[in-house]
Amino acid sequence: MSGREILDGLARVLRRHPPAPTRLPRAVRPTLQRFKQFRRASQAVLLGGLADDWPDRQNLSLARLRERFGNRLISGMPTKHGQLNNDPRAGVIFETVRFGDYVDRLERGDWPEFYLAAPGETWFPELRDEVRAPEYCRDASWRISRIWLSAPQMSAPLHRDVAQNIFVQLIGRKRFYLYPAAATPWLYSNPVRSALPNYSRFDPEKPDYERFPLSRALQPLEVILEPGDAIYLPSGWWHQVRSLDVSLSVSFFFADGALAFAVRAAEFVKRMRGLEIYGLETRRRASLAGSSQAQ
């Protein structure tokens, strides 16, 4: 029995019952004070109107993005049968692809086995003034954005993030299966020392209750985001996401105080282990260094 399993067992004893399913509240451009109430309660919430005041939203169409960034190499994650890798030994692998080639394949209906996930500030810095961070996280002591583009039916396995997340849907629809952080002891997390400690071995889309019987006690919240919709996911909330159409989205990850320290620590560990986007950045630097020496 792993240390994670022991901790989860103790948590189940202390909590006694799994969290009961509830409907998510919805708020259209809530005041900053109202949003802080959701944060304090660790309550996920559907948010409306966040992108209404973004300038030049027509620049975020696929045709316009291809015109502007078609020759740019963009980071992304290879998929298999439409799902991101969930191997706790290998972790999430990042590669690069030419943005224009990817959009061309989407428009032809030739679905690529690749999920674009580019850090906004470093890979699309030109969009900084167009894809505006919501006021609820604009002044956070730690904040990054990530832009997502995918073909229909691509999905990410059940996972949770240390940082808080405001996720804005721009093109197409996405379906979320959600569990609050309190559901963690029933969700079979990967071992802490694995490459994916924040991922679950349980799949709510195809539940295997023989392998994961404790998860039968949970009922996920199902949410579909339409273009213009957004969702706030507090730290630790589990989510499994599937693109129902060609989908363009942006996440604003943020943290303050002790949580910001925890996020920075987690990012440092990923960087040192060469995991996720840091592995790609390390390989790119090594490649550039090799090319320079060859010259």
Residue type for position 129: D
Q: Output the pLDDT for position 65.
A: 94
pLDDT of residue 5: 80
Residue 16 binned pLDDT confidence (cut-offs 50, 70, 90): confident
Q: Do 137 and 254 contact (CB within 8 A), yes or no? A: yes
Report the distance separating Cα 104 and Cα 191, nearest Å.
39
H/E element holding 182?
none
Tokens of 28: 């259209």
Residue 277, pLDDT > 80, answer: no
Report DSSP state, residue 212: -
Positive or negative: CA dihedral 275, 2, 84, 187? negative
pLDDT in tens, 97-113: 999 999 999 999 888 88
pLDDT digits (tens, 9 = 90+) for 100-151: 999 999 999 888 889 999 888 888 889 988 899 999 999 999 999 999 999 9
Both tokens of residue 27?
């708020």
Domains in the chain, number: 1
CATH number of the domain that residue 246 is part of: 2.60.120.650
Question: Stretch 33-60: mean pLDDT, rounded?
Answer: 91
Q: Which range among 1-5, 26-30, 31-35 shows the weakest confidence by mean pLDDT? A: 1-5
For position 280, what pLDDT does the model report?
A: 75
Taking residues 19-31, what's their average pLDDT?
A: 91
Domain residues for 8?
A: 3-294
- Write down the pLDDT at residue 243: 97
As given in the structure block, the two tokens for residue 229 are: 């919709």
pLDDT, the chain, mean: 90
What is the rounded distance in angstroms from the CA atom of residue 223 to the CA atom of residue 22?
12
The radius of gyration computed from the CA coordinates of the chain, to the nearest angstrom, equals 19
Distance CA(34)–CA(79), nearest Å, equals 39
User: Percentage of residues in the chain with pLDDT exceeding 90?
Assistant: 63
| Ramachandran bin of 177, using left for φ above 0, alpha for ψ from -120 to 50, beta for the remaining angles | beta
Residue 163, token pair as written in the block = 């940082």
Q: From the CB of residue 146, how many other CB atoms can be counted at a distance below 10 Å?
A: 21
Q: Which residue has the tokens 């790609």?
A: 280
| Amino acid found at 121 | E
Cα–Cα distance between 30 and 49 in angstroms, integer? 9
**Which residues 6+ apart lie within 8 Å of 180 measured at CB?**
19, 42, 44, 236, 237, 238
The residues, any chain, with a CB within 8 Å of residue 172's CB and separated by 6 or more, are 152, 227, 243, 244, 245, 246, 247, 248
Average pLDDT, integer, range 74-83: 89
β-strand partners of 149: 116, 248
The H-or-E segment that residue 84 falls in is strand 83-84
Helix axes 257-273, 277-294, angle to 10 degrees: 50
The per-residue pLDDT for range 180-229, each reduced to its tens digit, is 999 999 999 998 888 888 999 999 999 999 999 999 999 999 999 999 99
For the full predicted model, state whether its pTM sits above 0.95.
no
Confidence class for position 232, pLDDT limits 50, 70, 90: very high
User: What pLDDT, on the 0 to 100 scale, is given for residue 167?
Assistant: 98
Q: Cα separation of 102 and 111, whole Å?
A: 9
Task: Reply yes or no on whether the pLDDT at 276 is more than 80.
Answer: no
Q: Is pLDDT at 80 greater than 80 in this prediction?
A: yes
* CB hemisphere CA count around 269 (13 angstroms): 12
Confidence class of residue 288 from pLDDT cuts 50, 70 and 90? very low
Confidence check: pLDDT of 291 > 60: no
Residue 85 has pLDDT above 90, yes or no: no
